[in-house]
Amino acid sequence: MTRYIRSTLALAAASALAVTAPTALAFEPQGKVDCIAPSDPGGGWDFTCRSVGRLLEQQDKVSGNVQTTNMAGAGGGVAFAHTVSKRRKDESLIVAASTATTTRLAQKQFPGMNADMVKWVAALGADYGIIAVRKDSPYNSLPELMDAVKKDPRAISFAGGSATGGWDHLKVLQTAEAAGVDKLKKIKYLSYNNGGEAITQILGGHITAFTGDISESVGFVESGDLKVLAVLSDKRLPEPLEDIPTAEEQGIDSVGANWRGFYMPGQVSDDAYQWWVQTLDQLYTTDAWQKVMKQNGLMPFHMSGDEFTAYVKEQIADIAKLSKDIGMTK
């Protein structure tokens, strides 16, 4: 899993430098655009919709407003089902997605649904995972926390914004496995509708540690309320997050990258699909989006259209194998 993530991140970073010139298309969305965030307000999907929607408006990429609709449930499954059953031809709809989405698809957690039922538009950055505790926690490093998990897996609780078996959960299991924990199934994980809700549980002293993405937690890190024990990247993040140690430099070989992007209904016209691909390609290259990425801990990662679709399908296959290897699926 770690080798695969590194290779695809390198490929996507290179792809970000080679956005093709736009071609004229007959389609352009008329009126309001709807961006579904498959979660309650707060967290990565909500951030993706609201930040991209705001820039689409500000840069006149769309003629109407971009409305964010929060649709929590089933780790993104409610939004996925809504898209494929009720909005299958809606050309003014985009849906926020991430590695959490492909994780659920890999584990067949969206009953009767698969990746071919939607069109994968683009990824606009990668969000690295973190493991963090509240500021007054007795744990000051990732090895200290993992040693406590080894001693008694049920005594340490983790909270994240994905469903049980989802990407936030898998990051903990992957990290624990790399740290030498041999009772992965006994690790206590509690699922919340978004990262913000999970962080609230940490700050309230109800849960030991947070497993999520850096974009969900930047504000809490900057305020000093959260103490990040490790970022799951192969190198330190750029400023202002450069003081956060990686898991690797603490002797634990765990990398967890979460791409941020969009899919849209599977039965939209090719013109509509290509318009959204080109528009998000253009948005990615703007100084405004690059600034948003830097402020929120997102790293360069851009794929779109056919290349992104192929990547999504390969990632689903890879996560399915990981889930089986660590006993999450049969």
Do residues 229 and 149 share a domain? Answer: yes
Beta 226-231 vs 66-70: how paired, if at all? unpaired
Give the single-character DSSP code of 235.
S
- Residue 194 tokens read as 């978004």
CA angle in degrees (0–180, nearest 5) for 76-78-82: 120
Do residues 277 and 178 share a domain? Answer: no
Rg of the Cα trace of the chain? 19
Indicate whether 134 belongs to any domain.
Answer: yes
pLDDT in tens, the chain (330 residues): 444 455 455 556 555 545 555 566 678 898 899 999 999 898 889 999 999 999 999 999 999 999 999 999 988 999 999 999 999 999 999 999 999 899 999 999 999 999 999 999 999 999 899 999 999 999 999 999 999 999 999 999 999 988 888 889 999 999 999 999 988 889 999 999 888 899 999 999 999 999 998 988 989 999 999 999 999 998 898 888 899 999 999 999 999 889 999 999 999 999 999 999 999 999 999 999 999 998 888 888 999 999 999 999 999 998 898 888 777 787
Do residues 101 and 148 share a domain? Answer: no
- Residue 113 tokens read as 């649904």
CATH number (domain holding residue 243)? 3.40.190.10
17 exposure class (CB count in 10 Å sphere: 0-12, 13-18, 19+):
exposed
Which segments of 185-269 does DSSP mark as H helices, in order? Answer: 195-203, 214-223
| Cβ pair 181, 187 in contact under 8 A | yes
322/59 Cα distance (integer angstroms): 41
Indicate whether 330 belongs to any domain.
Answer: no
CATH number (domain holding residue 89)? 3.40.190.150
**What residue numbers bound the domain in which 169 lies?**
129-250
Do residues 169 and 243 share a domain? Answer: yes
Adjacent-strand bridge partners of 134: 226
pTM of the model: 0.79
Do residues 7 and 123 share a domain? Answer: yes
Question: Tokens 């830097």 label which residue?
Answer: 294
